[in-house]
Amino acid sequence: MAYDGATTRGLNFLGLEFSDADLETTTDAIAVRASLDLPFAYVATPNVDHVVGLANDPSRRPLYDAAWLRLNDSRVLRGLAKRAGMNLPTVTGADVAEHLLDTVIDRNEPITIIGGSAESIAALKHRYRLTDVRWHEPPMNLVEKPGAIVDAAQFAAAQNARFTFICVGAPQQEMVAYTIQQLGRATGVGLCVGAALDFLSGRAERAPVWMRRAGLEWLHRLASEPKRMWKRYLVDGPKVFSLFAAWRAASASASAA
């Protein structure tokens, strides 16, 4: 079997199998996979919002199961995993995107971006001196527009880029990535990285490092965009604790059986 860059093991936590690799190992694996003539594969970056959304809507399961890598994008999930005796690394989509742009992606090679605004794309091109960005701007409420998801997927598949950044939020970005894969004619690696490129372009301010290390990035985002984020972080997000309790009880029951 040809090597595809998959050098990581899986950790099953809350019903998802996460990679156990650190940032360096992850980006090395992605770079290798993207450079080989292999079918399109994508990287999902589940956080608390993803986990709660998946519990509320199990029909999303294939979107995560089909991902080549699933990276833990949440220090809250890391903290819960630690309580269960598991070492679950935090490798955020923003960190992966930044590391690839800083150390792997050549400024003259084509990259594909699905999502974002004209301003953020221009700022990203300027910061990284990118000369060949193929950008597709899908409509709002993409989750309710299957035709637009197919359009985005077809656009990405036609570009033949090593890296496709899909930045339209969950579960839309996973739906686009899954559809690209299902088309069966794309190569390279897709990265479902949410707002990562907004942070990297400077169009949105990421939490200070100390807040990220303390697991408080969610608080920074809530303070920055209270009208948009209050429900995610104050209503939906806390459900992860009951999901964790149920998962831990089920795991203990299975072990005792």
Identify the CA nearest to 14 among candidates 257, 252, 248, 172: 248
- What stretches of the chain adopt beta strand conformation (E)? 10-13, 16-19, 41-44, 69-70, 111-115, 133-136, 163-167, 189-192
Q: 45 or 217: which carries more pLDDT confidence?
A: 45
The answer to whether 8 and 29 have CB atoms below 8 angstroms apart is: yes
Question: What pTM does this model have?
Answer: 0.89
Q: What is the DSSP letter of 232?
A: I
Tell me how many domains the chain contains.
Answer: 1
| Residue 66 forms part of a structural domain | yes
**Is the peptide bond between 139 and the residue preceding it cis, with omega within 30 degrees of 0?**
no
Identify the CA nearest to 193 among candidates 212, 167, 161: 167
| Residue 181 forms part of a structural domain | yes
* Average pLDDT over all residues of the chain: 89
| Residue 229 forms part of a structural domain | no
pLDDT tens digits, one per residue of 21-68? 999 999 999 999 999 989 999 999 999 999 999 999 999 999 999 999
* Residue 147, domain extent: 10-206
| Residue 245 forms part of a structural domain | no
Q: Inform me whether the pLDDT recorded for 216 exceeds 90.
A: no
Report, as an integer, the average pLDDT of 199-211. 73
| Residue 231 forms part of a structural domain | no
| Residue 5 forms part of a structural domain | no
| Residue 130 forms part of a structural domain | yes
Residue 146 confidence (pLDDT): 95
| Residue 79 forms part of a structural domain | yes
Residue 96 confidence (pLDDT): 96
